[in-house]
Amino acid sequence: MKKTDILITDAFTESILKQYEKKYNIVYSPRITPEELIEVVCNYDILIISTRLPVQKELLAKASRLKLIVRMGAGVDQIDLGYCAKKNIVVCNTPGSNVSPVVEYVFGELLRLMRDFESMDRSVMNGEFRKGIKPGGELFSKSIGIIGAGRIGSRIAGTAKQFGMTVFANDPYLTEKQKKKIAVDRWLSRPELLKRSDIVTLHVPLTRRTAHLADMKFFSGMKNGSILINASRGRVLKLDDAVKFAKQGIIKKFIIDVFENEPCRPEIPDNVRQYFFFSPHAGAYTEESFLNRSIEALEEVDEFLSGRKPHGFIDPKKGY
């Protein structure tokens, strides 16, 4: 029987590939360009991708054999889910592998901002030993408002409780039963959450409803001196509005991991640069996450080829 042809287009843990070589024909092309992918996609039954490449009509129209797309990671906003459904292409993701690294990224960034570890290090090596560094802040007893309390948001809630924080959340799509399992002190409307939180963190998917959710009106509703984190999707936050708003000084710090058009170099005027703390969509960029997403991706392939629904099956109706 002919083996299934699989193309992997993004970083993958190669030791996992070896375990599957006998079972499937796997081509690993982590640097393939969108144009090259369009040329070769007709040769594959399954695509394993990450965020790098768009999977839109132009590509899908050429994908005559394609039956399954496995998105390593969580967001599926770069995939035309409606068109996949029309062509009977199943789409699934591996969101579990991203939860811990994103939660650790959020608290890592917060602690770094609160305590300024870099200047502590410098003060020792400059021979100043504490002179010249300002006392930091604590997370303990601060309030955090979580918008989107799914896999990542709910784990943020549990970790925040461990730090002794007050946890607010907003997620209109969770049932009362689901909400009861999450360590949230109060479920609030979005305006109320913004008004009461020292730190606001976004963990929603990118959909028509969440595109530019964090805009001028949103920022204006935030508490004086608060911190805003976006490690969800770039288009959820309107960066131009954030730049305009930063000058007003209400939001003390913007921690931003994701951008509307990646890769990019945002233009931030010098007079507000101090308010922005960027990372290059690296919230889930850990060795462990790469290993786990690689294992999960090929497990999903096994699941699908055994005639079962992949665990991370994406309902096309929930797309962007």
Binding site for ligand NAD (CB under 6 A): 73-75, 95, 98, 102, 147-153, 170-174, 203-206, 209-210, 231-233, 257-258, 281, 283-284
> Are 282 and 303 contacting, i.e. CB atoms less than 8 angstroms apart?
no
- In angstroms, give the least distance from the CB of 72 to ligand NAD: 10
Task: Estimate to the nearest angstrom the gap between the alpha carbon of 217 and the chain centroid.
Answer: 23
Among 21, 39, 262, 288, the one annotated catalytic: 262
- Residue with Cβ nearer ligand NAD (4 or 159): 159
Q: Which one, 60 or 256, has the nearer CB to ligand NAD?
A: 256
Which one from 203, 235, 281, 293 is the annotated catalytic residue?
281
In sequence order, what DSSP letters do the residues of 11-42 get, joined into one string? ---HHHHHHHTTTSEEEE-TT--HHHHHHHGG
Residue placing its CB nearer to ligand NAD in the complex, 50 or 226: 50
Cβ-closest position to ligand NAD: 150
Q: How far is the CB of 247 from ligand NAD (least distance, A)?
A: 26
Q: What is the DSSP string of 60-79?
A: HTT-TT--EEEESSS--TTB
What the block records as the tokens of 118 is 């870099």
Q: Please list, in sequence order, all residues whose beta carbon lies within 8 angstroms of the beta carbon of residue 231, skipping any fewer than 6 positions away.
A: 102, 105, 106, 152, 201, 202, 203, 255, 257, 258, 283
Active-site pick, 71, 155, 203, 233: 233
Minimum CB separation from ligand NAD for residue 117, in Å? 22
CA atoms lying within 13 Å on the CB side of residue 19: 9
Of 63 and 206, nearer to ligand NAD (C-beta) is 206
- Three-state DSSP at 92 gives strand
Active site residue 122: no
Annotated active-site residue 262? The verdict is: yes
Active site residue 112: no
Active site residues: 233, 262, 281
